[in-house]
Amino acid sequence: MSMIEIKGLKKQFDGFEVFKGVNANIEKGDVIAVIGPSGTGKSTLLRCLNFLEKADEGEIWMDGKNIFDSSVDRAKICQKMGMVFQSFNLFPNLMVVENVMQAPIDLLGISRKEAYEHAMVLLEEVGMSNKALSFPDELSGGQKQRVAIARALAMKPEILLLDEPTSALDPMMVGEVKNVIARLADSGLTMMIVTHEMSFAREISNRTFYLDEGGIYEEGPTEEVFTNPKKPKTKAFFSKTKEYHYKASDVSFSFKTMSNGITVFGITNSIDAKLVNRASLICEELCINCILSHIEVNPIELEIHMAYLENEKALRISVEYNGNENNLLENPKVDEISVKIIKETSREYSFSFADGKNVLTILV
Amino acid sequence: MNDKRLSIRLLALLFAVLIFSTLFLSSCSGSNDDECTVENLPTGKIGCLMGSLETVFLQDTYPEAEISYYNSLPDAIVGLKSGNVDYVSTTETNIALYTKRIDGIKKLDISYFPTQEAFCLNKNRVDLISQINGKIKEYKESGRIDEISRNWSDCTNYIVNEVPKRTEGPVIVVGTTGEMEPINFILNGELVGFDVEVIGNILYDLGYQVEYKTMAFGALLPAIESGKVDIGAADITVTEERKKSVAFSDVYIERCQSVIVRDEDNESISIAAIKEGLKNNLIKEARYKLILEGLKMTALLSVTSLIFGTILGILLLFMKRSRFRLLSKTVSVYSVIIQGIPIVVLLMLVCYVFLGDVDASDIVVGMLTFGMFFSTGVLAALENGLNNIDKGQYEAVSALGYPRIFGFRKIIFPQLTKNSLPVYRGEIIAMIKATAIAGYVAIQDLTKAGDLIRSRTFDAFIPIIIVAIIYFAIIWAITLFIRWFEKKDDRNRRKREVKL
């Protein structure tokens, strides 16, 4: 028998149907990656499991009981499901170790001493025992998330729900948290993780739920879903995640949108943060200091395409812009420093002109 | 440490400013010439009682006269002494009384605007009017009115003759104010005075039982018109306007108006005078006891309101956050009402409407009023604290498997103090200051004690300054205490040791 069985789960927000009837089984020891485009209810699925969102219809069976039955003690069910939030949600008034030991004392009725010892073991596991007497506001994001994981584990949950555990972290901090989660996955703990980091999802999970169209659109062993998706939307999703496109005119160009997009692209593909930063810098210099300031057409239209070349561990950036033939990297009018920055950060670059389109291709 | 020294210096500076301004204002008040005559009277500012008849006369006779209106004669005299007005115009009876009682004022030798005083009756009591008129005539002829008037003319030693009373016969309700010494006032707990003695004797002679009702002068005529009172006896002047609504008996006495001015010879501005003033306001007649009792009452009001308001505020919070819409709506309405009514009006509502029929003590009235006032502040402080707690905290509590209320108590509530204390501190101070209005319903708090002393000594400044300093000291102390507590609380939070 499955550990958790979801049957016909329906949920809508202000008339928008997120789930039109989700069915799924979670077996003991499963590590399930929940992936999909944004707005398809990945987090909502987790939050319906532990009552943070109220499902409109459907049943979730656990230990032979429908947890939506009014006779079921919801607090008890929650205790069996640990939850790790994107924003950590540590208790700011409690020290790290108190954050971990408080719930077992209050809810499992164990002594403070026992709770403390168990908490220290868990903190050791996540590499935070040396910060046991710190307060959350003294920790970095990665450290906070590791404490939050320890806090969830302290209740000895049967399943751990992780809701985008690395999304709020500085790229430099992601690694330490991913390591902890990967170790937990290896230890056999049942887990369900919502993440945008495809390679991480692929690395730790044995099953993948791809969410779209109001439910689990495609589901299967992780390797199969990732390497050989069967349905069109899944296929499109996986090809899209490997490339980044940005199209704008001089009026609509937003530096913020572009650089956020590049950052997200980097995270999704688990690209080295340094590489992403370099690519971002090149795009910034190229768009703002070269194209937008030196192309004399109205309106200016530019397009950025970025692809990750996994084998070479390199990013290929191609920038298209309109106007007459104009290789900005060889144009004496263009700011020398910008050109220098671009040339020095890139591995190779080339220029072509066809059909009124200038194309600069840069390899980072 | 630097902070502390700075605050002490600021405090000292503030007191210095207060004291100097007192001296300055007092010395400015001496700008009046002694040879005041009727001719130059209108050039100055005249203080009058609100609604008194001579104001009309003054306005007609001296159109250029500047008139300030006061609610009571003691207030007018304080205004005179502080230089806000140059003359106070009132009846010669009042002048006789106050010039005897108060130093630093004197009567000017002029009299004007003679008035005729009579008893007031309902227009339907024609029978009673003629009976009374007969008696008035008899008393005037026999010289009895003059004799009674003499009994009450020496304002230091009254000759109190007991008025005979009947225990049988029809009852006549006599309305008066009880606040017009020596005409009708309370002496040793008894209603006495010229008017009381005259009407008491007349009604005895006519074979009536008498029942007295005291009320504000303004309420007298309506009470007579409506029949709640049979006879008004409160030095009521006969006017054409009043004749429209009530009937008058024959005139039983005539009075004149005069003015009082500052008596410069009797007043000097010096350190000695301030010393004397302090002595007069605090030591004489053990007036400091009034201050102490007032302080006790203020403290008692503050503490009971603090406790009651805090408990009520917490209760309101739970009601507001409850899942039952009706409860949370009730709290919202309650908050809007309490915050939408001036606190004085709330006090009077509690005193006269909610507890109108209940024999409630001053403390209960004050505690309810200021407690309710404070409870909305407590609610605001708590809500402010709660709003500063991230939604994620509740989610974490719920996800860990805490039942709703238990989790709130264990995890959320301890986070509240830090966010709520600063607002709570402000609300406590606002509430303590609000208790200063308790005197409105005759609760003798600190402010009222200052008023009482002022009404006896007619000193405009010293009682107010004393009261101000005491309030300031209390609030200063409370602020320091809560700040200390906040710091201690913060240190406790950061202790970095785990209790096992």
Nearest residue of A to residue B409 by CA position? A106
Nearest residue of B to residue A99 by CA position? B411
Give residue B266's pLDDT band: very low, low, confident or very high (50, 70, 90): low
Distances (CA, A) of B116 to B140, B235, B249, B256: 14, 9, 11, 9
In contact, A88 and A141? CB cutoff 8 Å: yes
Q: How confident is the model over B267-279, as a mean pLDDT?
A: 71
Q: What is the pLDDT of residues B449-477, one digit of tens each?
A: 888 787 767 676 788 889 999 999 999 99
- B393 contacts on A by Cβ (under 8 Å): 89, 91
- Of residues B48, B276, B232, B280, the one with CA closest to residue B123: B232
Q: Read out DSSP for B52-67?
A: -THHHHHHHH-TT-EE
Distance (Å, whole) CA B499 – CA B177: 69
Residue in the block written with tokens 């605050």 = B7
The pLDDT assigned to A152 comes to 96
Task: Note the pTM of the prediction, 2 decimals.
Answer: 0.63
Q: What is the pLDDT of residues B127-184, one digit of tens each?
A: 899 999 999 999 999 999 999 988 888 777 788 888 899 988 899 999 988 778 788 8
Q: How confident is the model over A20-31, as a mean pLDDT?
A: 93
The pLDDT assigned to B373 comes to 95
Please tell me which residue, A356 or A53, carries the higher pLDDT value: A53
Compute chain B's Rg from CA coordinates: 30
Residue in the block written with tokens 């530096």 = A255
Judged against a pLDDT cut of 70, whether residue B36 lies above it is answered with: no
- B400 contacts on A by Cβ (under 8 Å): 78-79, 83, 103, 107, 151-152, 155
CB atoms within 10 A of CB B26: 21
B415/A95 Cβ within 8 A: no
The pLDDT assigned to A255 comes to 80
Judged against a pLDDT cut of 80, whether residue B116 lies above it is answered with: yes
Distance (Å, whole) CA A102 – CA A119: 9
Helix axes B73-81, B92-101, angle to 10 degrees: 60
The pLDDT assigned to B358 comes to 72
3-state secondary structure of B262: strand
The pLDDT assigned to B35 comes to 34
- A108 contacts on B by Cβ (under 8 Å): none
The pLDDT assigned to B30 comes to 38
End-to-end CA distance of chain B: 36
In contact, A236 and A219? CB cutoff 8 Å: no
Helix locations, chain A, DSSP H: 42-49, 74-80, 96-103, 112-125, 141-154, 171-186, 198-204, 222-227, 232-240, 255-268, 273-284, 292-294, 336-345
The burial class, CB within 10 Å (0-12 / 13-18 / 19+), for A53 is middle
Comparing B38-42, B116-120, B423-427, the range with the smallest average pLDDT is B38-42
What is the overall mean pLDDT for chain B? 83
A113/B399 Cβ within 8 A: no
The pLDDT assigned to A105 comes to 95
A107/B402 Cβ within 8 A: yes
Comparing A344-358, B82-96, B198-212, the range with the smallest average pLDDT is A344-358
Q: What is the pLDDT of residues B13-23, one digit of tens each?
A: 777 777 666 55
What percent of chain B is modeled with pLDDT above 90? 32
Query: Partners of A360 in the beta sheet?
Result: A319, A351
Q: What is the pLDDT of residues B331-376, one digit of tens each?
A: 999 999 999 999 989 988 888 788 876 767 778 889 999 999 999 9
What is the overall mean pLDDT for chain A? 88
Q: What distance lies between CA A112 and its chain's CA centroid? A: 36
Element holding A315 (H helix, E strand)? strand A314-321
In contact, A209 and A216? CB cutoff 8 Å: yes
The pLDDT assigned to A301 comes to 81
Q: What is the pLDDT of residues A116-131, one digit of tens each?
A: 999 999 999 999 999 9
Distance (Å, whole) CA A115 – CA B50: 76
Query: Partners of A20 in the beta sheet?
Result: A10
Give residue B296's pLDDT band: very low, low, confident or very high (50, 70, 90): very high
- Longest CA span, chain A: 78
Judged against a pLDDT cut of 90, whether residue B203 lies above it is answered with: yes
Nearest residue of B to residue A161 by CA position? B399
CB atoms within 10 A of CB B323: 7
Which residues in A73-86 are b (16+ Cβ under 10 Å) and which e?
Answer: ebbebbbbbbbbbb
Residue in the block written with tokens 């009994």 = B151
Q: What is the pLDDT of residues B308-333, one digit of tens each?
A: 999 999 999 989 988 889 999 999 99
In contact, A81 and A48? CB cutoff 8 Å: no
Nearest residue of B to residue A112 by CA position? B500
B399/A83 Cβ within 8 A: yes
3-state secondary structure of B290: helix
- Of residues A321, A165, A330, the one with CA closest to residue A247: A321
Please enumerate in sequence order all residues whose Cβ is within 8 A of that of B205, keeping only pairs 6 or more positions apart, or say none. B135
Nearest residue of A to residue B491 by CA position? A93
3-state secondary structure of B200: helix
Distance (Å, whole) CA B34 – CA B31: 10
- Of residues A273, A304, A277, the one with CA closest to residue A288: A304
| Residues listed for chain A | 364
CB atoms within 10 A of CB A192: 24
> Which tokens is A15 given?
């008339």
Distance (Å, whole) CA A131 – CA A147: 9
Residue in the block written with tokens 């997009």 = A261
> Which tokens is A204 given?
């730790």
The pLDDT assigned to B276 comes to 77
Please tell me which residue, B38 or B30, carries the higher pLDDT value: B38
Distance (Å, whole) CA A188 – CA A190: 6
- A101 contacts on B by Cβ (under 8 Å): 498
Residue in the block written with tokens 């945008």 = A196
The pLDDT assigned to B379 comes to 94
B396/A106 Cβ within 8 A: no
Helix locations, B435-461, DSSP H: 446-457
The pLDDT assigned to B31 comes to 37
B496/A102 Cβ within 8 A: no
Which residues in B238-254 are b (16+ Cβ under 10 Å) and which e?
Answer: beeebeeebbbbbbbbe
Please tell me which residue, B271 or A38, carries the higher pLDDT value: A38
What percent of chain B is modeled with pLDDT above 70? 90
Give residue B115's pLDDT band: very low, low, confident or very high (50, 70, 90): confident
Q: What is the β-pairing status of strands B184-187 and B179-180? A: antiparallel
Phi-psi region of A4 (alpha: psi -120 to 50; beta: other; left: phi over 0): beta
Q: What is the pLDDT of residues A213-267, one digit of tens each?
A: 989 999 999 999 988 889 999 988 887 777 787 887 777 777 888 888 888 888 8
For residue B408, the distance in angstroms to the closest alpha carbon of chain A comes to: 12
The minimal CB distance from B415 to the residues A92, A97, A107 is found for: A92
Helix locations, B122-191, DSSP H: 126-142, 144-151
Element holding A317 (H helix, E strand)? strand A314-321
The pLDDT assigned to B32 comes to 36
For residue B385, the distance in angstroms to the closest alpha carbon of chain A comes to: 13
In contact, A254 and A159? CB cutoff 8 Å: no
CB atoms within 10 A of CB B146: 13
Give residue A45's pLDDT band: very low, low, confident or very high (50, 70, 90): very high
3-state secondary structure of A121: helix
Q: What distance lies between CA A192 and its chain's CA centroid? A: 13
Judged against a pLDDT cut of 90, whether residue B395 lies above it is answered with: yes
Judged against a pLDDT cut of 50, whether residue A313 lies above it is answered with: yes
Judged against a pLDDT cut of 60, whether residue A41 lies above it is answered with: yes
Helix locations, B410-445, DSSP H: 413-434
The pLDDT assigned to B310 comes to 95
Judged against a pLDDT cut of 70, whether residue B28 lies above it is answered with: no
Judged against a pLDDT cut of 50, whether residue B247 lies above it is answered with: yes
B114: preceding bond cis by omega (within 30 degrees): no
The minimal CB distance from A97 to the residues B398, B411, B498 is found for: B498
CB atoms within 10 A of CB B139: 19
Please enumerate in sequence order all residues whose Cβ is within 8 A of that of A112, keeping only pairs 6 or more positions apart, or say none. A101, A105, B498, B499, B500
The pLDDT assigned to B456 comes to 67
Distance (Å, whole) CA B299 – CA A77: 52
In contact, A99 and A91? CB cutoff 8 Å: yes
Q: What is the β-pairing status of strands A190-194 and A207-212? A: unpaired
A75/B396 Cβ within 8 A: no
Q: What distance lies between CA A145 and its chain's CA centroid? A: 14
3-state secondary structure of B302: helix
In contact, B301 and B370? CB cutoff 8 Å: yes
> Which tokens is B119 given?
């008893």
In contact, A269 and A198? CB cutoff 8 Å: yes
Judged against a pLDDT cut of 90, whether residue B90 lies above it is answered with: no
Distance (Å, whole) CA A101 – CA A107: 10
Distance (Å, whole) CA B123 – CA B363: 44
The pLDDT assigned to B41 comes to 58
The pLDDT assigned to A339 comes to 82
> Which tokens is B478 given?
């409370």
Backbone angles phi and psi of A206, in degrees to 5 = -105, -20
CB atoms within 10 A of CB B223: 19
Q: Per CB distance under 8 Å, which residues of B are interface residues toward A?
A: 390, 392-393, 395-396, 398-403, 406, 410-411, 414-415, 418, 493-494, 496-500
The minimal CB distance from A85 to the residues B392, B406, B500 is found for: B392
